Amino acid sequence: AQRVTQPEKLLSVFKGAPVELKCNYSYSGSPELFWYVQYSRQRLQLLLRHISRESIKGFTADLNKGETSFHLKKPFAQEEDSAMYYCALRDTGGFKTIFGAGTRLFVKA
Amino acid sequence: GAVVSQHPSRVICKSGTSVKIECRSLDFQATTMFWYRQFPKKSLMLMATSNEGSKATYEQGVEKDKFLINHASLTLSTLTVTSAHPEDSSFYICSATSGRYSYEQYFGPGTRLTVT
C-alpha cells in the first residue's frame, strides 16, 4: 500500500541551525516524491520535487530508495522558514498524490 | 503562476441541508482536479479525482452519493455535500493540474464547512 510517513509533528530549531524534516514512504514502484509547504494563512504550494534535484530557498531533498526516505534539509534555518511541510508521493501509474501528516517547523530567533 | 480559487471560503449550514463548494482554475485549463479533506492537525485526505467530462474516481471509504463531484468544464469543479451532518464539518481543499503528465498541483485556499 502507498504510504507517506512524517514521524515528527513539530520540529523546533534556532535560527541558523541545520534542519532536517524526515519523510519515509512505501510504494511498490518508482514513485515521484515532493515536498509541499504551507506558510501561515497561505495555501499549500510546491517546494521541490525529487526529479529536479534542485535547491529551493536553500532546501534540498535526496531520494534514498534503499531507505525509502526523502528527507528535507537546510543547513541554516531562517525564521521565514517557519511553516507546515508536507511530504507527498505521486502515483506514477496514475496521478493522484498521497500526503504525509505534515511537520510543523518553528524557527526561533 | 497558476491560480485556483474556491468559493465560498467558509460556509455554515444546518444538518440535513446540502452545500456546494466551487473550485475554479483562473488562468489555466485544469483537466484534472482533486478534492481533499483536512482534519484538524492532520494531513490532507484525498477524497476523489475528477477529470473534465467524466465521472469522478472516489477513494476508498468516501461515499460518492454523499459527496457529489462534478467537473463540467476545464475550469470548474464542484463538490456538493448532500444531507450534511455535523461530522462533515471540515476543511475542504481542491487542487488542479493542467494535464495527466503535469506533476505540479495548484491548490485552492480551502473552504471551511461547519454543519450545525
Note the maximum CA span of chain A.
44
Residue B70 makes CB contacts below 8 A (sequence gap 6+) with: B50, B56, B77, B78, B80
B20 near B11, Cβ under 8 Å? no
CB–CB contact A45 B107 (8 Å): yes
Q: Which parts of chain A are beta strand (E)?
A: 3-5, 10-14, 19-21, 24-26, 32-38, 45-49, 60-61, 72-74, 83-90, 97-99, 103-108
Q: Which residues of B touch A102 (CB under 8 A)?
A: 42-43
Task: Please tell me the total number of residues recorded for chain A in this structure.
Answer: 109
Per-residue model confidence as pLDDT tens digits over A1-15? 788 999 999 999 999
CB–CB contact B32 A95 (8 Å): yes
Region of residue B93 (left: phi > 0; alpha: psi -120 to 50; beta: else): beta
Q: Which residues of B touch A83 (CB under 8 A)?
A: none
Per-residue model confidence as pLDDT tens digits over A48-82? 988 777 888 999 998 998 999 999 999 999 999 99
Residue B19 makes CB contacts below 8 A (sequence gap 6+) with: B11, B13, B80, B81, B84, B113
CB neighbourhood size of A16 (10 A): 12
Instruction: Name which residue leads in pLDDT, A98 or A18.
Output: A18
Per-residue pLDDT of chain B (116 residues; tens, 9 = 90+): 689 999 999 999 999 999 999 999 998 888 889 999 998 767 889 999 988 888 899 999 999 999 999 988 889 999 999 999 999 999 999 999 886 566 778 999 999 999 99
Predicted pLDDT of residue B91: 95
Of B32, B41, B103, the CB nearest to A90: B103
Distances (CA, A) of B109 to A60, A104, B44, B51, B57: 26, 19, 13, 20, 22
